[in-house]
Amino acid sequence: MKRVTKRSNRGGFTLTEATAAIIFVGLGMAGMLASLSSGTRATQGSYELGRAGYLVREIREYTFAIPFDDLVSQTYTQCIDGQGDAMNFDGDSEWQQKVTISRRKDSDLGSIDESGTSNVKYVQANILYKGQSIMEAGWLVTSEAAQ
């Protein structure tokens, strides 16, 4: 005697189909989270470069505003603006402006003047964030006697 089973006509998903759908949705969400993470890192890097550029411009303005003889190598753990005043901004304790000064020969600006009598100083500014160098820039400053 044959046994006849009746199949239900109700629609639905099998366990295998549901598992596959969950896996595909999970992979898609993981990909979206990964792209969100990389976007956040890119935004942070952009912020750091923008802030470093701003701090370089401020220290450059400051080196042109002070007397030639007052230009000395120094590290500012609290960043300064173009007038030499301390700046306050979010996370400012993580930033530093490191300024290195060397005298250059009047006749050969690429050579360091060991005598210390030249009228030209080379300013090397290094902007640090969390101890890492973000941006470096250099420029020449002359005494009024050389102008």
Provide the pLDDT for residue 89: 77
CA dist., res. 119 & res. 68, Å (int): 9
Residue at token pair 């996370």: 91
Q: Of 119, 118, 71, 140, which is closest to residue 99 (Cα–Cα)?
A: 71
Q: For the CA atoms of the chain, what is the radius of gyration?
A: 31
Q: Of 128, 130, 109, which is closest to residue 120 (Cα–Cα)?
A: 109
Provide the pLDDT for residue 47: 86
Contacts of 100 (CB under 8 A, 6+ apart): 73, 123, 124, 126
Provide the pLDDT for residue 31: 84
Provide the pLDDT for residue 58: 95
CA dist., res. 94 & res. 98, Å (int): 13
Mind listing the pLDDT tens digit of every residue in the chain (147 residues)?
Answer: 666 666 556 677 788 988 999 999 999 888 888 887 777 777 778 888 999 999 999 999 999 999 999 999 999 999 999 999 999 877 678 899 999 999 999 888 889 988 888 899 999 999 999 999 999 999 999 987 544
Contacts of 92 (CB under 8 A, 6+ apart): 78, 79
Give the pairing type, strands 120-129 and 95-104: antiparallel
Predicted TM-score of the model (pTM)? 0.70
